[in-house]
Structure 1
Amino acid sequence: MSTHKLDISLEQELDALKLEGRAKPTERIIEHYIPPKGNNGPRYKLEGNDNEFIRLNSNSYLSLSNHPDLIDAADKATHKFGVGPGAVRFIDGTFVYHDRLEKKVAAFTNKPAAKIFNSAYTANCGLALSISNKKTHWIGDQLNHNSIIRAMRISSIPKENKGIFKHNDMADLKRCLDEVSPCMERVVVIFDGIFSMRGDYAPINEITKICKSYDSKFKDGVITVVDDSHGIGAYGDTGRGTPEFCNAAPDIIIGTFGKAFGVNGGFICASNSIIESVRQKADTYIYTNPLSVADCAAAIKAIDICDSAQGRQLLCDLQKRTNQFRQGLEGLGKESITGPHPVVPLLVRDTTKTHDLVNYLFNNGVLVVGLTFPVVPKGDETIRFQINACHTFADINHVIELLDQFD
């Protein structure tokens, strides 16, 4: 047997992706990390390139991935238990660090219980598999992350049991709730805490208030779910994310250890019954080995740091650099979406200019992400900047100066 015929068909499909502008670029390979020195934050070297790069495309918002305490925690756990669990959770693949991390993140989010996953993507899918039945109706924001969209698809509920409301439009959310069949037993309203391409946030206090007003209409109520992957650790006075920022308490919080916490993995925090249902029903939890003990130990340490004076200082540094960058864009007369989050979009609104600006910044040692059609609608072409706590005043000034010099 040969894959020759399949290879030909796949090559044609890949060529079509390129023509449509949807093909992913060649992955750059980071081969060296250069620690902060003097007025400079960390720099990175890419394979085949002599430049030293500032990363403005990293979601390690608190810059914890290179923190010596996290590295030490991971190292000690690895020496104690090895590099891999050797089994799924149900077959003695649960180590003490898995249990400690679940208790730690549940307490951090003020929920009774938690389950950890290999990613927030698999956490979203696992939740959908766990709480959906034939009488479940799902409603989501139109700009939800792909993992939420995929989760709604694999929940096996029919199309008529799904609703989409316009981005952050509370009147349209009410419309979706009004359209739910009275035969439904439970309604799940799911949304991103921070919308990762824009840096704006869901008004969770308004969403939960609206959902509460519909709760009595359904046997199991209206359940609010926030995927706060870009908020947890990086947002709110104590880093507890968008719910803290909005002074709201959604029923279920999904998040990641792979962004502000600087490690890897995802989690669901909720009631004891929901978490036990996840443990019993989520294929993405049951049929895969869990995170390594190194990841778990590092994530525990990251939460400890976030929940300390050191963490408050990192949040303060992050906000200062974010404000500096946003003010710099404003001073140049650049268009952005206002807000305090370290995801800062620069609205270029032209495909060619977006590509040119991304290449210009790359040639000057700055890594960013450009978003063009069909990823975003024509006219909404954007460059996404992500500010980290490790960026220095000089780093941000340098990037603003580069943007000012771009013609």
Structure 2
Amino acid sequence: MSLQQIDATLQRELQQLAEQGRAKPRERVITDYVPAKNGSGPRYRLEGQQGLFIRMNSNSYLSLGNHPALIAAADEATRRFGTGPGAVRFIDGTYCHHTALEKRIALFMDKPAAKIFNSAYTANCGLALAINSATTLWAGDRLNHNSIIRAMRICGVPGENKAIFNHNDVQDLDRCLDSAAPGITRVIVVFDGIFSMRGDFAPTDRILQVIEKHKDRFADGIISVIDDSHGIGAYGKTGRGTAEFCGAAPDIIVGTFGKAFGVNGGFVCTSATIVETIRQKADTYIYTNPLSMADCAAATRAIDICDSKEGLDLLKTLNRRTRQFREGLEQIGLETIPGPHPIVPLLVRDTMRTRMLVNGLFDHGILAVGLTFPVVPKGDETIRFQINCAHTKADIDYVLEIMAKLVKKQGCK
């Protein structure tokens, strides 16, 4: 059979995305990793490009991906059990490394139990499949991650069972809960901990205060869910993320091993009953192979490091580099969204200038992400920088120096 007809249709759709400015650029291919040396942090080689590049767009906030202990743990697990589990969890695809990781992340997040997934995206979808019902109201922040929005769609949540509150607006959340329709027996309030495009955080303590006010109105209560994928490991006094920073922990915590922990996979930490319900009902857990034993072993070792003096020292270094960068942008006279997190958004507020700056950074060996219209509304055009603790003082100084030169040359200030 021929694909000519559907290919022609899809090519037209792709062309429309390009004309609308919504098409993703061609993916750059990393071909080599160059370890830190001579006062500079790690650098990368790109296919088809000369020179070395510093990544200012990596989620690996604690720079653990190349840590010798993680590599050794992954190597030992692979040599012992092989490269893959060979089956889904409930058909003898569960290894000791899977259960050890679940116990370790539950302990780290101070929850009774945990269930691990291939990603935080599939964790959000699996959680929703497990705890949704026909009489559940979902109340979510307007800027929630795509995985949360997709999870509700996968569950088939009807429009009348959805409520959207304005970003970080607890009074609007209060209004949403006040407006719950008769017959609602369960409410799920779900929000990001760190909002990945902005670097700001949910006021978890105030959100839980609003929930407390309404909790007795519904037979199954109100369940608070935070996706703190960008927060856990990256901030808070001991790296426990938004719950620790705000001094208030939601009922269910979703996170990832693929950012600060530097490995792969996602998790849900909550009560033992909800975890067992996930195991029984979550399609994205039941019908797919789990993480490799190497991933689990490396992730467990990463949590151990985060939960040690070494981890606290890494967190302090990350905080220093983040402050250095934020203060440097301020000295140049550039606008950012304030906050303690290593996601640092530079508000350019113009599509052409954003693209010029991102291209200028690339020409000087700096990788950063530009968000322009129509991906974001006009006036919200942004360059998202992400600080890692492997960035040295000299690295940050260099990026700030180039930023200052580009701003002066291009008139972007």
Whole-angstrom CA distance in 2 between matches of 1:239 and 1:308: 11
Equivalence for 2:78: 78
Q: CA deviation at 1:334?
A: 0.2
The residue correspondences of 1:4-403 to structure 2 (distance < 5 A) are 4-403=4-403
**Deviation at 1:158?**
1.1
Q: Which amino acid aligns with 2:309?
A: A
Deviates more, 1:208-217 or 1:282-291: 208-217
1:88–1:288 contact (8 Å) kept in structure 2:
yes
1:157 Cα deviation after fit = 2.0
Q: Distance in 2 between matches of 1:26 and 1:3?
A: 23
CA distance in 1 between partners of 2:248 and 2:121 (Å): 23
Count of residues paired in the alignment: 407
AA at the equivalent of 2:397: N
What whole-Å deviation, never above 9, does each CA across 1:218-240 have from its counterpart, x for those lacking one? Answer: 00001000000000011101001
Give the superposition deviation at 1:182. Answer: 2.9
Q: Which amino acid aligns with 1:157?
A: V
Give, as a single letter, the amino acid of the residue that structure 1 aligns with 2:11: E
Using the TM superposition, give the Cα deviation of residue 249 of structure 1 relative to its aligned residue in structure 2, in angstroms. 1.5
CA distance in 1 between counterparts of 2:146 and 2:43 reads: 30
Q: Is the 8 A contact 1:141 1:191 kept in 2?
A: yes
CA distance in 2, matches of 1:316, 1:358: 29
Report the CA distance between 1:374 and its aligned residue.
Answer: 1.8
Question: For residues 219 and 335 of structure 2, what CA distance do their matches in structure 1 show?
Answer: 46
CA offset digits 1:283-318 (Å, max 9, x no partner): 000000000000000000000000000000000000
Aligned-pair distance for 1:265?
0.2
| Deviation at residue 178 of structure 1 after TM alignment | 0.8
Q: Using the alignment, how far apart are the partners of 1:366 and 1:2 within structure 2?
A: 43
For 1:340 and 1:28, how far apart are their aligned partners in 2?
A: 30
One-letter code aligned to 1:161: N
Quote the Cα distance in structure 2 between the aligned partners of 1:343 and 1:296: 26
- Post-superposition CA distance 1:119-141 (Å, at most 9, x none): 00000000110000111110100
AA paired with 1:238?
T
CA distance in 2, matches of 1:138, 1:167: 15
Q: Deviations over 1:257-287 (max 9, x none)?
A: 0000000000000001110110000000000
Q: Distance in 2 between matches of 1:104 and 1:313?
A: 21
Q: Which runs of 5+ in 1 are unaligned?
A: none
In structure 2, distance between residues paired with 1:304 and 1:121: 24
* Matched letter for residue 154 of structure 1: I
* Aligned amino acid, residue 352 of structure 1: M
Report which stretch shifted further, 73-82 or 151-160.
Answer: 151-160
Q: Deviation per CA, 1:7-36, whole angstroms, max 9, x where unpaired?
A: 000000000000111100000000000000
- Listed one character per residue, the Cα deviations across residues 144-176 of structure 1 (whole Å, up to 9, x for unaligned) are 000011011112221100000000011110111
Question: 2:120 corresponds to which letter in structure 1?
Answer: A
Checking the alignment, whether the CA contact within 8 Å between 1:182 and 1:218 is kept in structure 2 is no
Instruction: Provide the secondary structure at the position in 2 that maps to 1:92.
Output: helix
3-state SS of paired residue (2:143): coil
What SS does structure 1 have at the residue aligned with 2:6? helix
Which is worse superposed, 7-16 or 368-377?
Answer: 368-377
Distance 2:44 2:212 in 1: 48
Counterpart AA for 2:130: S
Structure 2, gaps ≥5 residues long:
none
Contact kept, 8 Å, 1:257 with 1:263, in 2: the verdict is: yes
Structure-2 separation of matches of 1:156 and 1:281: 15
Q: Deviations over 1:384-404 (max 9, x none)?
A: 000000000000000000011
Hey, what's the Cα distance between the residues in 2 that align with 1:43 and 1:157?
45
Q: State the distance in 1 between where 2:20 and 2:157 align.
A: 31
